[in-house]
Amino acid sequence: MELVHIKRSILGVFLFVSSLMQAQNFEDLWTDYFSYVSIKDISQGDDQIFVAAENAVFIYDLSTEEITTISSVQGLSGEAISAMHYSQETDLLTIGYENGLIEVVNTAEDYDVLKVVDILDKLNIPPNTKRINHFTENEGKLYVSTQFGISVYDLERLEFGDTYFIGDGGMQIDISQTTIALPYIYAATTENGIRRAILEDDNIIDFANWETVVSGNFIGIQTLGTRVLAANSNNRVFRLLGGTTPEQVAAYANNIQDFEVNNALLTVTTTEQIFAYSQGFIQEASVTSLPDFDYNLQTGYSFGNYFYLGTTEQGLLRVPFSSTLAEQILPDGPLFNQPFAVDATAGQLWVSFGAVTVDFNPNPTTRKGVSRLNEEQWTNFKHDDIAASLGADRINNIVEVTINPEEPDQVYFSSFLSGLLRFENQEPSVLYNENNSPLENPIFGGPAGVRLYGSDFDRDGNLWFLQTLVDDALVKLSPTSQFQRIDVSNISGGREELAYSQLAISRENYVFFGGTPTGLIGYNPSNGQLKSIGEGEGPGAGLPSSDIRALAFDAQNRLWIGTLRGLRVLFNPGSFFNDGTEPEAQSIIFEDDEGVGQELLFEQIVTSIVVDGSNNKWIGTSTSGVFLLSSNGQETLLRFTDENSPLPSNNIQDIAIDPFTGVVYFATLNGLVAYKGSATAPRDNLEEVFAFPNPVRPGFEGNVTIDGLTENANVKITDLEGNLVFQKTSEGGSVQWDTRAFGRYKVASGVYMVLITSEDALETTIKKIMIVR
């Protein structure tokens, strides 16, 4: 199967009673890396199957077997999908979300995306009762089943009509599904029985015109031929005789997950089985097990003598009627949409999916494996396969990924319960724990587990990492697999109250680390000296919180510190251990638009700090998305949120940068996306210098990037007459030119010479840039 991404234009917006928002397409600068293993809903066109995953959609072409994905990069919200419906009459794909948002995708017009925010913005409906449960189409209208009632959406005019609050006294009640069996519309409710009203009643909006025909708790209702059938929460299916009298026709051993009629078949999907029934409730086909797949079902569909099974972890499975041979239909992607930690090197990215709570509680435990992206292809390593290959019972909560910079095929993963996992050449090679290493499994009323977190390599190839709940919390693993444990209890206090989080190593090979509530601790390996700074103001302090969440050294050997309540910088860590010094972390103060000094990232929970090839800082936060700061932090160069970018969440778990492409990977609470950054690591020589875009065409408003530079290379740009229009010294592997003469005015059309000299003046190269205005 071929996987494609289709470019989409922005749908024109017109105003009426409904609230519409145009969706922006981000494909030029962004890439999505979502997982499609968990299927939420399925719909069907003449020759296409539409499949909703957790926060994105893919389309399977039955004739070409081609897969097309639509995600936040193409304009979807990235929120949690709860329902979907395709209308063959209008070519519109309607997607409903847990938060009440509805998006309409025009499949006939370049997949334009229209956001409908009426329900999402409704103030008289509690935020936790706006979930879109189901869509029923009838004569150009969608009857939208929600947690508060039924809303009617006109597919031709793209606007909402009435909303029916059909509970007793007009109360809001949870509607699981609706169905049309003329002259009635029936509504199955989760707690208030089955209710119906005459569809063409001019006063159908009045709750008094809705009658309760069956009491109970129902999860679905459909019309098969002339019969109305309903499924209740006790996994029973009934037909309504005369439209009002329930007669049980089936009972299932497992929970009913989906209940749908299409193509004259009723499909009943349970957690383990799927059944297709024709009129008269005659069973036509079923799947009760598949020998090649372990699966749990969330949704199902019957079409063209095939079952389409929507699973929790296997994607979409296609099974012919009267067969147990399944074909997996699944876009390439990582294991899950909950990336917790990422690390990147040239051409590859590793991802883990373990997690801990904000106070470092590993429960409930996760066993989710790891994923590797290489040359835009994913390889997934499932937990059970990793554990089996190492003879381990389990490897829980993998919370950190660290690639060996000198040996990129060697990758370490910290588990916050099970020890230190090493991969070599894309294969698990060893799990260090209390059984085969000096690592402890401390006892606190029972085994607490080998709880490891932050790790980093020093210049000598040693891996340093942190263990929680032990006195010897700082550990060094040498290239020859020798362990050294350092007791930090005399400076960090009681071990039961501590959790160590992040670690970074300075130019001098000093090891800095922290956690909660430890503050920042420094360790000098040459003499064993430990020193710390804590919360408060003045020498020996300066932190806004003693809870450290992120650490990173920049190109100038300054330590950037992310805490639970803001950002700080240690400007001279090289003197941290000098006798008589009391180091102090500093805040970054900038002037706002009114000239008033403000603290950068005041009170923000900083979750990740990564320095790019131009010494700029990418800062991830738990609630406010991503900030790109200039090298000194005085300027915010970029700001990404889930409202102005494809970020599926403002909760940033981790950030990683490919040093040679400049691509920035964002692991968020709801999935992984990448931004095509331009700052790269410095090269060893000037043999691969290039400029892009080149030529610069009319209408281009961005920057030209000169890439492939050595560190501190001098870059001069002149016109053909030798007039200097730009000059800069690179801090990484690239510089950017705004195509202006020293920032004042745009240069004219013509050819411009780029003169590049290495820092030692031993290498030079010349490139040309064509500007067309």
Confidence of residue 19 (pLDDT cuts 50, 70, 90): low
Distance from C-alpha of 565 to C-alpha of 649, rounded to nearest angstrom:
20
Q: What is the pLDDT of residue 595?
A: 83
Averaged pLDDT for residues 502-525: 96
Instruction: Return the SS3 of 394.
Output: coil
CA distances in angstroms from 712 to 25, 114, 405, 558, 709, listed in the order given: 36, 47, 22, 18, 8
- Read off the pLDDT band of 20 (50, 70, 90): low
pLDDT digits (tens, 9 = 90+) for 432-468: 999 999 999 998 878 899 999 999 999 999 999 999 9
Two structure tokens written together for 444: 């606190």
- Interatomic CA distance for residues 308 and 183, integer angstroms: 32
DSSP codes, 523-547: EETTTTEEEEE-BSSSTT--BS-S-
What's residue 28's pLDDT? 84
Tokens of 275: 């059944």
Q: What percent of the chain has pLDDT over 90?
A: 88
CA–CA–CA angle 300, 301, 306 (5° rounding): 115
Angle at 504 between CA 500 and CA 507, to 5 degrees: 155
pLDDT at residue 5 greater than cutoff 60: no
Q: Which of 11-20, 268-277, 365-374, 569-578 has the lowest mean pLDDT?
A: 11-20
Question: Are 213 and 193 within 8 A, CB to CB?
Answer: yes
| Contacts with 176 (C-beta within 8 Å, 6 or more apart), sequence order | 133, 134, 145, 188, 189, 190, 218, 219, 220, 221
Instruction: Categorize the per-residue pLDDT at 491 as very low, low, confident or very high, splitting at 50, 70 and 90.
Output: confident
Three-state DSSP class for 654? strand
Per-residue model confidence (pLDDT) at position 374: 96
pLDDT the model gives residue 494 = 65
Q: Residue 16 — pLDDT band, cuts 50, 70, 90? A: very low
For residue 3, the model assigns a pLDDT of: 44
| SS3 call for 73 | helix
Mean of pLDDT over the chain: 94
Sign of torsion over alpha carbons 103, 105, 111, 117 = negative
Give me the percent of the chain exceeding a pLDDT of 70: 97
pLDDT value at residue 11: 25
Whether 553 shows a pLDDT value over 80: the answer reads yes
pLDDT in tens, 230-266: 999 999 999 999 989 999 999 999 999 999 999 899 9
What is the average per-residue pLDDT within 181-188?
A: 98
CA distance 651 to 695: 38
**DSSP secondary structure code for residue 575 in this structure:** G
Q: What is the mean pLDDT of residues 20-48?
A: 89
pLDDT at 9 over 90: no
Minimum mean pLDDT among 56-60, 115-119, 526-530, 594-598: which range? 594-598
Is the predicted pLDDT of residue 7 greater than 60, yes or no? no
Q: Which of 347-356, 642-651, 724-733 has the lowest mean pLDDT?
A: 724-733
Confidence of residue 701 (pLDDT cuts 50, 70, 90): confident
| Both tokens assigned to 402 | 């660290």
CA separation, residue 96 to residues 142, 303, 546, 632 (Å)? 12, 22, 42, 44
Helix H, strand E, coil C: the string for 319-386 is: EECCCCCCEEECCCCCCCCCCCEEEEECCEEEEECCCCCCCCCCCCCCCCCEEEEECCEEEEECHHHH
Q: Is the Cα dihedral 676, 677, 681, 684 positive or negative?
A: positive
Q: What is the mean pLDDT of residues 320-331?
A: 97
pLDDT exceeds 80 at position 718? yes
pLDDT score of 353: 97
Length of the chain: 773
Residue 66: pLDDT above 80? yes
- pLDDT, residue 183, reads 97
Task: Copy the structure tokens of residue 747.
Answer: 């240069």
Could you report the per-residue pLDDT of 154-165, keeping only the tens digit for each? Answer: 999 999 999 999
Q: Are 770 and 695 in contact (CB under 8 A)?
A: yes
From residue 278, alpha-carbon distances to 49, 263, 265 in Å are 21, 9, 5
Q: Work out whether strand 548-553 and strand 559-563 pair parallel, antiparallel, or are unpaired.
A: antiparallel
pLDDT value of position 2: 43
Q: Which residues does residue 766 pair with via DSSP β-bridges, in sequence order? A: 755
Q: pLDDT at residue 17 above 50?
A: no
Residue 498 confidence (pLDDT): 85
In the chain, the amino acid numbered 233 is S
Q: For residue 408, what are its two tokens? A: 């990129």
Lookup: tokens for 250:
């089936």
Which domains are seen in the chain, by residue range?
1-164 (2.130.10.10), 341-591 (2.130.10.10), 592-681 (2.110.10.10), 690-771 (2.60.40.3110)
Residue 593: band (very low, low, confident or very high) from pLDDT cuts 50, 70, 90: confident
Q: How far apart are CA 312 and CA 155, in angstroms?
A: 31
pLDDT of amino acid 21? 61
pTM of the model: 0.91
Of 594 and 505, the structure prediction assigns the larger pLDDT to 505
List CB contacts of 761: < 8 A, sequence separation 6 or more. none
CB 317 within 8 A of CB 329: yes
User: Which two three-digit tokens encode residue 752?
Assistant: 């411009």
Biggest CA–CA distance in the chain, Å, is 93
Amino acid identity, position 648: P
Range with the lowest mean pLDDT among 21-25, 557-561, 728-732? 21-25
CB atoms closer than 10 angstroms to residue 451? 29
Confidence of residue 531 (pLDDT cuts 50, 70, 90): very high
